[in-house]
């Protein structure tokens, strides 16, 4: 595996609007931010390297987060796909779980299934719940289906048979037949992707995977070719939704794993920023060491606020929380581990509006990049969050922002004034209102990823980034009771940085359903051993040396008779002698924490064992340029909920390490602006991160 | 109404309610609190779904969690909660206030949790067990948190409890009037034991009860945290004002409608307790006058002898939930109730009195009353309503599960999804939707086959089952299954075997329900909608079809291009296209497509012009 000293280690995150890059080599660092170039996203990637001034031939590793997969699903630009199902069940994909995205709206329609009904083929075959064959596979029917699909110009196949999570022999045989009939076709079988029920979720995962495969492999091949042509001789990895890296080969086989590739990079950045900040360590630090040394800063909420949306994720114990399912659109679940994040329609361009009951709202509609906020002078006339921040004095009017944008306060006043008069409020009141409503919407979403998971946001450090994150962070923290904020050195390109903070990660699991009291220690141990052995092979296949491999064991437990299980992390892969007591105890603790009630008289059941394999990488650090020795602040009037205050306006880059200043402060930099309210204190840590802490409670 | 209760509420009110003006003085804080209340109920939903033991709740989603104010009026509910419960919540808490015959502050101590499932004290049917927890702010009773879960079984002689042929409440399992299951934080194990002794699958019930208690505790803690931040007075008045906000919004919608009187009726198949095959009738006279809507149900049928009755709470719930579907932008709370004047005399089919049996309320009266609202609003505000949606059939199977490692009895539920009705202002309605206004989800085949000794033969859309129309109804669904390891029994309770979902404005009715045992064999039986403990032999197929939605607009005006698309996807067969839409085609193997016979089509369509393109969402 290439060491970072061999060349530049470059993280590139391609978002819908911008492509961010952070590159590090030894003590050198470069950043760049360029427009993304849909639909040919690879151009933006090469642009970002050029803009950063990094010679392509000197790059050792590229870690790439990308929105290509999500984009393909949402814009229906995947590959025409056929689905083979058990006879009698081709409609599983369309029946979904028969719920609705908007339960109360007669005029709401679910998104159309990714495979239309005419291309869903039923095959005679059937297994029972134990995986025993009831009806053998009708091979001729498979051949016929493939020929029909091929005549319709379809070269991509998803195969999902009932109970294939226990026995996928029929699926594998059907895949062979597809290959015989139509060499070169892409085939995705459900049992190879996901060894768990139920049928709809597994089928949906398989269909999304197949649907994306040609698009993703074309993109990755094209990207690699263009990089090679430009002289790239290093290794290229892609970020998956769970915040790990995949080789191009794995990414091409499991493209559904890339659905939240971009936002996952953001969450990993928060993980890394907090971990490094907590130790104050300078230079390259091994992630494991950082985590081991971290105190207090390994519980983090990451908040990436861009132009149209905000991504929120939670880091627990130094790791971004994961969920087992993610849906790019309603009714399209994909059951791969994904960083537990939610995306909400709240960003700088979010529009303020008044409903029929004369109540104010902000978002989810956005002015986007075009026409953009009224203040940008590109034709927008409706008030946005950016306009409100400008009026509140929290955005600099006289500074050139990224891309040479200059803000026009008169246009903002006009737009916010219109909104205010609809409500019968003064303009300044309305501007604060827009900020307040946005903060509360975000607070609600943060509660979804914290309190709904049994976590208290007050125990967390907020890591805000993206253009507007540092602007909103302090007041949002006031609402949530958060006392500490860490703002990275370059908030605008933090997702690019996140791509550097990523390990190669694989997950494997086996369902093993048995009462805990009847579980056999030797059996559990042998399952863990099997899983671990398979995992070591997987890691070795990807060139991960033995000493860089880390395995993480966990067990899914539930009460006997309960449907869903809790995942309980274990210290290691050794099943202790008194495992029944230890596991039961850990389960009760976690249960009470999450569900507010616990019963010790209901038997506990084992549901599954899991092993995660990690290639531990080093976490490069962006060296901080250091500040000018002195600075002369300007003063400007800033509106707050408690009236107007005079705030110092300071260039962030001019603050030396160790500087400590009390709010009210507006700290400016090219890619972001930080607002420090009166009762907050700002301090520059050794690495150049900005630490905000809240004073005594009001 | 009990005088002590009234004075208790009065007392609580007098100290706290300030000027009714948070909405005007601080619209932003008002909106923030609105969102905070929803956030609390959403959090309770998430907990319930994740922790529940029964498949009916964890996968099926048959639960709800709400906040009520100190008078028991509904303030907020979770987005994913079972809609049918919601409209009954105020009746539950207010019914409890009446029942306890004492000051609520004496009865409900901090940390208490009270259980109730009594249909005549504001409940639905016995299986829906509710937990109510008081919220004390600054030492005063300020609100209630409520959680409802459908228990898999609540006793009686039918596995799953539902018995269409019970003749009184006594035949419908265990009734629970308000009873403390937790006193000041301490679980009352004797009460738990009493409940669990009476139900099948007691361990599932125990786990679900545990989950309910956890959910209301969570709600209570969140409300207290909110009060610490904003002060109890602000929270109290925000709850009250949120209610008037919804009332204002709905009255504004009524004001926009033309004044007048509309009479509508909906028919249910029959009274399973009677020899007569006459349908049961839900009737409504709707009067719109300015911003007032009066709904008069007094011309509906009298009480049924069998279990098709409904409590007053369920009837009113059907109204307010359907109104919410007509006007989805209005927050669902007591304001929706207040904006409507109900005329619903006691003792009708729709307002049953103790001890009339009510197990079938969710399958009969609830959808029928929903139909009354849809039928009246499709006339008043066509772009808000739709033709008739599918109804509800509840199937419960039980028996012994002899599979190794599974041992013991099982109780398995099945409810079926179907289509929603064609829409005046948009394209064909969705297929395979949850029964109208319930928000439940299906239970996966793979999980049911693991948990119970059954195997499904198919689970699919039924061609030609969407009511034909310019805007087609969504398709109905067919399931076939059998018991694989032992014989068992089946009970079912539903409606719609005689009357399929209604079409409108020339659109066709959809095909009615059909449920057959062992089709095509000597043992074939029409199961129908009202069986109690029908013996089921292993290996015999059960074939059940749940209808699609009714069509809107004349089917002969449906655009030919849409009929051809439906043909390609098999939503409509060639025979159905000819019969229902007057579209004649032949399949061309070579081009893999349907070729239109223009001459024959013109002849069958007999001068009917194609209707307009579907408009975008109104």
8 Å CB contact of B425 and A95: no
pLDDT at B386: 94
Same domain as A185, residue A62: no
For residues A390-414, average pLDDT: 79
Of A616, A645, A666, which residue is a domain's last? A616
pLDDT at B452: 92
For residues B314-322, average pLDDT: 93
A548 vs B208, which has greater pLDDT? B208
Of A584, A616, A648, which residue is a domain's last? A616
**B48 chain-A contacts, CB cut-off 8 A:** none
Task: Assess contact for A146 and A181: CB atoms under 8 A.
Answer: yes
pLDDT at A627: 53
| Chain centroid, CA B553 distance in Å | 27
A621 vs B192, which has greater pLDDT? B192
8 Å CB contact of A104 and B426: no
Q: Which of A569-583, B55-69, B527-541 comes out lowest in average pLDDT? A: B55-69
Task: Assess contact for B396 and B411: CB atoms under 8 A.
Answer: yes
Question: Which chain B residue lies closest to A162 (C-alpha atoms)?
Answer: B446
Of A460, A477, A497, which residue is a domain's last? A497
**A272 prior amide bond cis, ω within 30:** no
Calpha distance A412→A431 (Å, rounded) = 10
Domain extent at residue A591: 503-616
Task: Assess contact for A202 and A160: CB atoms under 8 A.
Answer: yes
Q: How far is A674 from chain B (nearest CA, A)?
A: 24
Calpha distance A555→A566 (Å, rounded) = 8
Same domain as A683, residue A605: no
**pLDDT band at residue A113 under the 50/70/90 scheme:** very high
Max intra-chain CA distance, chain A: 82
Q: Which residues lie closer than 8 Å to A186 by C-beta, 6 or more apart?
A: A79, A155, A156, A157, A210, A213, A214, A217
Max intra-chain CA distance, chain B: 82
Nearest Cα residue to B551 out of B496, B450, B474: B474
pLDDT for B374-433, tens place per residue? 999 999 999 899 999 998 898 999 999 998 877 688 999 998 888 999 999 888 887 766
Pairing between β-strand B113-116 and β-strand B179-183 as defined by DSSP bridges = antiparallel
pLDDT at A587: 94
The domain locations on chain B are: 3-246, 388-553, 556-605
Same domain as A460, residue A368: yes
Task: Assess contact for A466 and A267: CB atoms under 8 A.
Answer: no
pLDDT at B82: 76
Calpha distance B523→B525 (Å, rounded) = 6
Nearest Cα residue to B222 out of B122, B386, B76: B76
Confirm whether A624 is domain-assigned: no
| Chain centroid, CA A218 distance in Å | 23
pLDDT at A287: 34
Same domain as A430, residue A536: no
- Chain B contact for A105, CB < 8 A? yes
Return the axis-axis angle of helices B312-326 and B89-100, rounded to nearest 10°: 150
Predicted confidence (pLDDT) at residue A5 exceeds the cutoff of 50: no
CB count within 10 Å of CB A625 equals: 10
Nearest Cα residue to B431 out of B461, B401, B407, B402: B461
For residues B521-547, average pLDDT: 97
CB count within 10 Å of CB A41 equals: 20
Nearest Cα residue to A93 out of B448, B461, B450: B461
Same domain as A198, residue A318: no
Residue among A95, A355, A563 minimizing CB distance to B52: A563
Predicted confidence (pLDDT) at residue B133 exceeds the cutoff of 80: yes
What the block records as the tokens of B122 is 């504001």
**pLDDT band at residue A275 under the 50/70/90 scheme:** low
pLDDT at A285: 35
* Exposed/middle/buried for residue B26 (C-beta within 10 Å: 0-12, 13-18, 19+): middle
B515 vs A494, which has greater pLDDT? B515
- Number of Cβ pairs < 8 A linking chain A and chain B: 219
What single-letter DSSP state applies at residue B20?
Answer: S
Residue among B50, B213, B569 minimizing CB distance to A118: B569
Tokens 């809240």 belong to residue = A694
Q: How far is A602 from chain B (nearest CA, A)?
A: 8
pLDDT at A101: 81
Calpha distance B560→A573 (Å, rounded) = 64
Return the axis-axis angle of helices B365-380 and B312-326, rounded to nearest 10°: 40
**pLDDT band at residue B357 under the 50/70/90 scheme:** very high
Calpha distance B187→B198 (Å, rounded) = 18
Radius of gyration of chain B (CA): 25
Q: Which of A141-155, A259-273, B138-152, B310-324 comes out lowest in average pLDDT? A: A259-273
pLDDT for B454-490, tens place per residue? 999 999 999 999 999 999 999 999 999 999 999 999 9
User: A25 pairs with which residues across the strands?
Assistant: A28
Same domain as A417, residue A488: yes
Question: Which chain A residue lies closest to B457 (C-alpha atoms)?
Answer: A88
Query: Which spans in A383-458 are helix H?
Result: 385-391, 409-423, 427-449
pLDDT at B12: 31
What the block records as the tokens of A47 is 């642009």
Q: Which of A135-139, A161-165, A380-384 comes out lowest in average pLDDT? A: A380-384
pLDDT at B14: 31
Nearest Cα residue to A347 out of A331, A332, A369, A320: A369
Q: What does A8-35 look like in DSSP terms, one character per residue?
A: EEEEEEE-SSEEEEEEEETTEEEEEEEE
Calpha distance A145→A150 (Å, rounded) = 8
* Exposed/middle/buried for residue B598 (C-beta within 10 Å: 0-12, 13-18, 19+): exposed
Confirm whether A626 is domain-assigned: no
Phi, psi of A379 (to 5 degrees): 110, -5
Predicted confidence (pLDDT) at residue A607 exceeds the cutoff of 80: yes
- Angle value at C-alpha B581, between B575 and B582, nearest 5 degrees: 80
B141 vs A342, which has greater pLDDT? B141
Task: Assess contact for B314 and B438: CB atoms under 8 A.
Answer: no
Task: Assess contact for B469 and B77: CB atoms under 8 A.
Answer: no
Confirm whether A621 is domain-assigned: no
Number of structural domains chain A divides into? 5
Q: Decide: helix, strand or coil at residue B213.
A: helix
pLDDT at B613: 87
| Chain centroid, CA B208 distance in Å | 20
Task: Assess contact for B84 and B318: CB atoms under 8 A.
Answer: yes
pLDDT at B17: 36
Same domain as A180, residue A53: no
pLDDT at B312: 93
User: What is the rounded (10 degree) CA torsion for A168, A172, A177, A182?
Assistant: 120
What single-letter DSSP state applies at residue A653?
Answer: G
A472 vs A669, which has greater pLDDT? A472
Nearest Cα residue to A277 out of A474, A472, A487: A487
Confirm whether A227 is domain-assigned: yes
Same domain as A423, residue A298: yes
Pairing between β-strand A319-320 and β-strand A133-135 as defined by DSSP bridges = unpaired
Nearest Cα residue to B347 out of B311, B315, B295, B371: B311
Calpha distance A86→A97 (Å, rounded) = 18
pLDDT at B435: 58
pLDDT at B459: 96
E strand intervals along B188-343 = 260-268, 280-289, 292-296, 340-343
Q: Decide: helix, strand or coil at residue A6.
A: helix
Confirm whether A60 is domain-assigned: yes
Question: Which chain B residue lies closest to A152 (C-alpha atoms)?
Answer: B592
User: What is the rounded (10 degree) CA torsion for A416, A418, A423, A425?
Assistant: 60
Question: Which chain A residue lies closest to B405 (C-alpha atoms)?
Answer: A514
Same domain as A584, residue A437: no
**A359 chain-B contacts, CB cut-off 8 A:** 23, 27, 30-31, 245
Calpha distance B566→B469 (Å, rounded) = 13
Confirm whether A622 is domain-assigned: no
pLDDT for A11-22, tens place per residue? 999 987 788 898
pLDDT for A237-258, tens place per residue? 999 998 888 889 889 989 999 9
pLDDT for A628-655, tens place per residue? 545 567 888 999 988 899 999 998 888 8
Proportion of chain B above pLDDT 70, given as a percent: 94
Same domain as A653, residue A523: no
**B447 chain-A contacts, CB cut-off 8 A:** 197-198, 563
**B453 chain-A contacts, CB cut-off 8 A:** none
- Chain B contact for A458, CB < 8 A? no
8 Å CB contact of A104 and B324: yes
Length of chain B: 618
Q: Which of A419-433, A443-457, A497-511 comes out lowest in average pLDDT? A: A443-457
pLDDT for B92-113, tens place per residue? 999 999 999 899 999 999 999 9
Q: Measure Cα distances from B69 to A181, B3, B137 in Å.
A: 66, 19, 12
pLDDT at A570: 92
8 Å CB contact of B569 and A564: no
A548 vs B469, which has greater pLDDT? B469
Calpha distance A576→A521 (Å, rounded) = 8
Predicted confidence (pLDDT) at residue B574 exceeds the cutoff of 90: yes
**B538 chain-A contacts, CB cut-off 8 A:** none
Q: Which of A447-456, B144-153, B531-540 comes out lowest in average pLDDT? A: A447-456
pLDDT at B304: 96
pLDDT at B9: 31
Same domain as A137, residue A162: yes
Nearest Cα residue to B514 out of B478, B492, B544: B544
pLDDT at B468: 97
Proportion of chain A above pLDDT 70, given as a percent: 91
pLDDT for A468-518, tens place per residue? 899 999 999 998 889 999 998 888 888 888 888 777 778 888 888 889 999
Tokens 């049924």 belong to residue = B304
* Exposed/middle/buried for residue A496 (C-beta within 10 Å: 0-12, 13-18, 19+): buried
Same domain as A234, residue A124: no
Averaged pLDDT score across all residues of chain B? 90
Task: Assess contact for A449 and A313: CB atoms under 8 A.
Answer: yes
Q: Which residues lie closer than 8 Å to B1 by C-beta, 6 or more apart?
A: B98
Radius of gyration of chain A (CA): 26
pLDDT at A290: 34
* Exposed/middle/buried for residue B19 (C-beta within 10 Å: 0-12, 13-18, 19+): exposed
């Amino acid at each position: 595996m290439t060491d970072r000293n061999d060349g530049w280690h470059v993280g590139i995150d391609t978002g819908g609007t911008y492509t961010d890059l952070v590159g590090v080599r030894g003590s050198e660092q470069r950043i760049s931010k360029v427009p993304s170039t849909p639909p040919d996203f690879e151009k933006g990637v090469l642009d970002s390297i050029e803009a950063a001034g990094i010679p392509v031939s000197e790059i050792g590793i590229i870690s790439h987060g990308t929105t290509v997969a999500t984009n393909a699903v949402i814009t229906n630009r995947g590959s025409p796909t056929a689905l083979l199902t058990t006879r009698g069940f081709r409609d599983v994909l369309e029946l979904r779980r028969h719920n609705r995205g908007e339960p109360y709206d007669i005029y709401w329609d679910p998104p159309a299934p990714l495979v239309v009904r005419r291309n869903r083929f039923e095959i005679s075959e059937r297994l029972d719940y134990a995986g025993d064959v009831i009806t053998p596979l009708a091979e001729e029917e498979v051949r016929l289906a493939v020929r029909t699909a091929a005549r319709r110009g379809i070269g991509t196949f998803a195969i999902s048979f009932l109970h294939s999570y226990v026995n996928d022999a029929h699926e594998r045989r059907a895949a062979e037949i597809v290959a015989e009939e139509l060499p070169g076709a892409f085939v995705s079988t459900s049992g190879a992707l996901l060894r768990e029920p139920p049928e709809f979720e597994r089928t949906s995962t398989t269909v999304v995977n197949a649907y994306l495969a040609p698009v993703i492999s074309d993109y990755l091949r094209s990207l690699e070719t263009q990089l090679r042509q430009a002289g790239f001789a290093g290794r290229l990895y892609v970020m998956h939704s769970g915040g790990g890296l995949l080789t191009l080969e794995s990414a091409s086989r499991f493209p559904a794993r890339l659905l939240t590739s971009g936002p996952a990079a953001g969450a990993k950045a928060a993980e890394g920023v907090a971990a490094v900040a907590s130790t104050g360590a300078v230079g390259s630090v091994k992630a494991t060491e950082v985590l081991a040394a971290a105190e207090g800063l390994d519980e983090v909420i990451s908040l990436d606020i861009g132009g149209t949306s905000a991504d929120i994720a939670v880091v627990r114990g130094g790791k971004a929380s994961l969920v087992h399912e993610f849906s790019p659109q309603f009714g399209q679940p994909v059951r791969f581990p994904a960083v537990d994040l939610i995306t909400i329609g709240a960003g700088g361009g979010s529009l303020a509006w008044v409903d029929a009951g004369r109540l104010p709202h902000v978002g989810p509609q956005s002015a986007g990049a075009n026409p953009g906020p009224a203040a940008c002078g590109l034709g927008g006339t409706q008030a946005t969050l950016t306009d409100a921040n400008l009026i509140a004095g929290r955005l600099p009017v006289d500074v050139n922002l990224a891309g040479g944008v200059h803000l026009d306060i008169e246009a903002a006043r006009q737009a916010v004034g219109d909104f205010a008069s609809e409500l019968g409020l003064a303009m300044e009141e309305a501007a604060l209102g827009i900020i307040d409503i946005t903060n509360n919407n975000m607070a609600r979403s943060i509660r979804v990823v914290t309190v709904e998971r049994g976590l208290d946001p007050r125990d967390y450090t907020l890591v805000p980034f993206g253009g507007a994150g540092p602007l909103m962070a302090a007041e949002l923290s006031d609402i949530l009771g958060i006392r500490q904020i860490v703002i990275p050195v370059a908030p605008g390109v933090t997702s690019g940085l996140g791509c550097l903070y990523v390990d190669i990660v694989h997950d494997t699991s086996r369902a093993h359903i048995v009462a805990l009291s009847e579980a056999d220690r030797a059996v559990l141990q042998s399952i863990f051993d099997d899983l671990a052995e398979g995992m070591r092979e997987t890691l070795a296949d990807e060139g991960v040396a033995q000493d860089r491999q880390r395995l993480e064991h966990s067990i899914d437990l539930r009460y006997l008779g309960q449907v869903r299980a809790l995942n309980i992390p274990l210290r290691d892969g050794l099943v202790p002698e008194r495992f029944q007591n230890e596991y039961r105890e850990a389960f009760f603790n976690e249960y009470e924490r999450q569900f507010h009630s616990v019963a010790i008289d209901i038997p506990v059941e084992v549901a599954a064992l899991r092993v995660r394999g990690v290639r531990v990488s080093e976490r490069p650090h962006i060296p901080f340029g250091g500040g000018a020795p002195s600075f002369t602040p300007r003063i400007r009037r800033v509106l707050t909920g408690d009236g107007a205050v005079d705030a110092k306006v300071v260039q962030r880059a001019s603050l030396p390490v160790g500087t400590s200043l009390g709010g009210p402060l507006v700290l400016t930099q090219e890619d972001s602006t930080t607002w420090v309210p009166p009762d907050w204190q700002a301090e520059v840590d050794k690495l150049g991160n900005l630490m905000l802490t809240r004073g005594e409670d009001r | 109404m009990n005088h002590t209760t009234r004075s208790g509420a009065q007392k609580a009110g007098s100290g706290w309610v300030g000027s009714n003006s948070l909405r005007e003085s601080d619209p932003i804080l008002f909106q923030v609190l609105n969102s905070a209340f929803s956030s609390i109920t959403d959090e309770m939903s998430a907990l319930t779904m994740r922790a529940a033991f029964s498949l009916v709740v964890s996968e099926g989603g048959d639960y709800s969690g709400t906040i009520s104010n100190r008078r028991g009026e509904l303030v907020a509910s979770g987005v994913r909660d079972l809609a049918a419960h919601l409209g009954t919540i105020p009746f539950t808490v207010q019914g409890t206030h009446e029942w306890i015959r004492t000051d609520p502050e004496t009865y409900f101590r901090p940390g208490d949790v009270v259980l109730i499932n009594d249909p005549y004290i504001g409940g639905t049917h016995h299986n829906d067990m509710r937990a109510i927890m008081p919220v004390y702010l600054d030492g005063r009773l300020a609100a209630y948190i409520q959680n409802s879960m459908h228990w898999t079984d609540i006793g009686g002689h039918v596995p799953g409890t539902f018995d269409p042929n019970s003749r009184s409440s006594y035949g419908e399992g265990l009734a629970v009037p308000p009873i403390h299951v937790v006193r000041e934080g301490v679980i009352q194990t004797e009460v738990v034991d009493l409940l669990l002794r009476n139900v099948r699958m007691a361990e599932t019930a125990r786990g679900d009860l545990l989950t309910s208690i956890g959910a209301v505790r969570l709600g209570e803690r969140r409300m207290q945290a909110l009060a610490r931040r904003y002060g109890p007075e602000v929270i109290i008045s925000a709850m009250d004002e949120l209610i008037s906000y919804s009332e204002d919004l709905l009255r504004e919608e009524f004001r926009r409608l033309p004044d007048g009187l509309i009479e509508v009726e909906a028919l249910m198949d029959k009274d399973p307790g009677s020899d007569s095959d006459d349908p049961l009738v839900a009737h409504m006279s709707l009067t719109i006058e300015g911003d007032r809507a009066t709904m008069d149900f007094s011309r509906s049928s009298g009480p049924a002898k069998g279990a098709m009755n409904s409590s007053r709470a369920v009837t009113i719930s059907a109204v307010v939930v359907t109104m919410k579907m007509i006007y989805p932008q209005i927050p669902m709370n007591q304001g929706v109730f207040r904006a409507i004047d109900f005329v619903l005399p006691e003792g009708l089919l729709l307002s049953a009195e103790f001890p009339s049996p009510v197990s079938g309320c969710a399958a009969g009266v609830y959808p029928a009353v929903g139909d009354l609202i849809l039928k009246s609003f499709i006339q008043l505000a066509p772009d808000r309503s739709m033709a008739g949606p599918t109804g509800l059939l509840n199937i419960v199977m039980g028996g012994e599960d002899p599979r190794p490692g599974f041992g013991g009895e099982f109780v398995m539920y099945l409810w079926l999804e179907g289509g929603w009705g064609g829409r005046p202002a948009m394209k064909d309605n969705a297929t395979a939707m949850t029964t109208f206004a319930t928000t439940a989800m299906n239970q996966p085949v793979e999980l049911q086959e693991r948990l119970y000794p059954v195997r499904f033969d198919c689970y699919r859309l039924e061609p030609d089952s969407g009511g034909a129309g310019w805007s087609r109804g969504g398709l109905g669904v067919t399931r076939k299954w059998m018991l694989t390891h032992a014989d068992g029994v089946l009970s079912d309770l539903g409606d719609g075997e005689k009357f399929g979902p209604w079409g409108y404005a020339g659109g066709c009715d959809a095909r009615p329900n059909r449920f057959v045992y062992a089709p095509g064999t000597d043992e074939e039986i029409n199961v129908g909608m009202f069986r109690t403990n029908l013996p089921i032999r292993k290996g015999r197929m059960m074939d059940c079809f749940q209808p699609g939605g009714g069509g809107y607009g004349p089917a002969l005006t449906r655009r030919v291009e849409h009929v051809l698309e439906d043909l390609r996807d098999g939503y409509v067969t060639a025979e159905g296209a000819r019969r229902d839409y007057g579209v004649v085609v032949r399949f061309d193997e070579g081009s893999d497509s349907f070729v239109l016979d223009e001459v024959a089509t013109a002849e069958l369509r007999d001068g009917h012009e194609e209707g307009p393109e579907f408009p975008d969402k109104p």
